[in-house]
Amino acid sequence: MKEAEQKTTHFGYKTVAANEKAAHVADVFHSVAAKYDLMNDLLSFGIHRLWKRVTIASSGARKGQTILDLAGGTGDLTAKFSQLVGDTGRVILGDINDSMLKVGRDKLRDRGLVSNIEYVQMNAEELPFPDNSIDVITIAFGLRNVTDQSKALASMYRVLKPGGRLLVLEFSKPEHEVLTKLYDIYSFNILPKVGQVVLNDSESYKYLAESIRMHPDQETLEGMMKDVGFEQTSYQNMSGGIVALHRGFKF
């Protein structure tokens, strides 16, 4: 009984068995995959594109590198990285959810981006790559869905090459109280309604709002990165802290 209590985690505001969270998250993303890009544009007013631009600018990606776009979803970052690393490099689009991977693969292939991209269904906690094999890892709006985030960060640290860097783009804690209140009103009242209208699914967007509140704040996440070995860690708040880009290096 005690062991069973220890192996629980949060799924939004609910507490679920740790080994069931991945399945719950999978259900959410199976539901939203088809209109994921549209919903991102609608709900963030297109600003998610700027957040991703900042991530790419911070990545230092260049010709010949191997880049892992974890929880890469529909491949926004992968598309840009694919062009930056060129034919001599490679980009691995990894996601635990096969629906998201399929949408991403179809989208990138339609754009003619085929030569240097691999698609791998993977769990961020158990990355299927050798030690010291990846130059840059990005995980954009994916870490909060991972069951054991510290284990995932440790796995990322393991596969990064010395000198490699991890970029975590994730919703975070707004810096100002007024913004927090406005953001709460938006998240809990408008987000689920838009989800209901566009996808006939308000629950997935209720989970989105709840999972953001349960995600570690900026300082805590930076601490978690340090704990697994990352050095020169830093974070950059964007849009008043609604989103933060964390960066850490392996030396």
Residue numbers of the site for another protein (CB under 8 A)?
49-50, 53-54, 56-57, 60, 62-63, 79-80, 83-84, 86-87, 111-113, 238-239
Exposure b/e, 3-35, CB count within 10 A at least 16 = b: eeeeeebbbbeeeeebeebbebbbebbebbbee
For residue 187, the minimal CB distance to another protein (Å) is: 20
Whichever of 32 and 85 has its CB closer to another protein, that residue is 85
Whichever of 16 and 238 has its CB closer to another protein, that residue is 238
For residue 186, the minimal CB distance to another protein (Å) is: 19
Whichever of 204 and 218 has its CB closer to another protein, that residue is 218
For residue 50, the minimal CB distance to another protein (Å) is: 5
For residue 239, the minimal CB distance to another protein (Å) is: 7
Using an 8 Å Cβ cutoff, are 155 and 125 in contact?
A: yes
Whichever of 97 and 239 has its CB closer to another protein, that residue is 239
**Angle at which helices 98-110 and 36-44 cross, to 10°:** 90
> Rounded distance, CA 30 to CA 236, Å?
31
